[in-house]
Structure 1
Amino acid sequence: MGITAATHRVCFLLQLRPDRVEDYLDAHDVVWPEMLDALRAAGWRNYSLFLRPDDGLVVGYLETDDFDAARQRMAATDVNDRWQAHMAQYFQSGANPDQAMKPLAEYFHLD
């Protein structure tokens, strides 16, 4: 599936606790199937996470038709509540990571 005019590319940053990077990676070895299903159903496509391991910087990228609506659909699921609560321990903020996601402004794209 290609990018359509209605598709938005979203990139965001999150900050892990440096002492928990390996544990965070281990937690992603097997993402719960119900979480993956919920993300797809909510409209998250082509979702990737990247890590700079020396300081715990996480870069996320996804494509969706409406990021705010996709986030709201995820927030309404029980599996997201459980996943976010479990993941919070790895992040510097200590808050649920989905609440800390702030999209970066896209200023250039080469198609």
Structure 2
Amino acid sequence: MKRYGSVIGLDAAQIAEYKKVHAAVWPDVLNQIKNSNITNYSIFLREPENLLFAYYEYVGNDHAADMARMAADPVTQKWWAVCMPMQRPLSTRTGDEWWASTEEVFHVD
């Protein structure tokens, strides 16, 4: 199992809508997350900075392939089309990132 964390900004005017759509995530999106070997997935919001922090645990054997399969899923693409306009990527992210990756510097079980 490997842990992943990432961060992105959220448009202040879209906070209520972002919370609303995530209170009722589409079942096919949830299934795709599970089928991509992702567990313990959470998104946290930090206000007033309006930063989203996502955390998940990956239990598969090929993270890149599972993420590519998720990105190719038509329902996931529709879900992202709903969410992405509300998000504000960090200017410091790498060229291929939407959510900026983070480095784990501490963990305890």
Normalising to structure 1: TM-score of the pair? Answer: 0.81
User: Where in structure 2 are there 5+ consecutive unaligned residues?
Assistant: 90-96
**Structure with the larger strand share:** 2
Q: Which runs of 4+ in 1 moved over 2 A?
A: 65-70
Aligned to 2:87: 91
Normalising to structure 2: TM-score of the pair? Answer: 0.82
Amino acid at match of 2:79: W
1:52-81 deviations in Å (ceiling 9; x for gaps): 132220000000034323321211211111
For 2:33 and 2:84, the matched residues in 1 are separated by 18
Query: SS at the partner of 2:23?
Result: coil
For 1:100 and 1:27, the matched residues in 2 are separated by 19
User: Where in structure 1 are there 5+ consecutive unaligned residues?
Assistant: 1-6, 94-98
Aligned to 1:106: 104
For 2:33 and 2:45, the matched residues in 1 are separated by 20
Matches within 5 A, 1:1-111: 7-64=1-58, 65=60, 66-93=62-89, 99-111=97-109
Q: CA deviation at 1:89?
A: 1.8
Query: SS at the partner of 2:101?
Result: coil
Count, aligned residues: 100
Aligned to 1:96: none
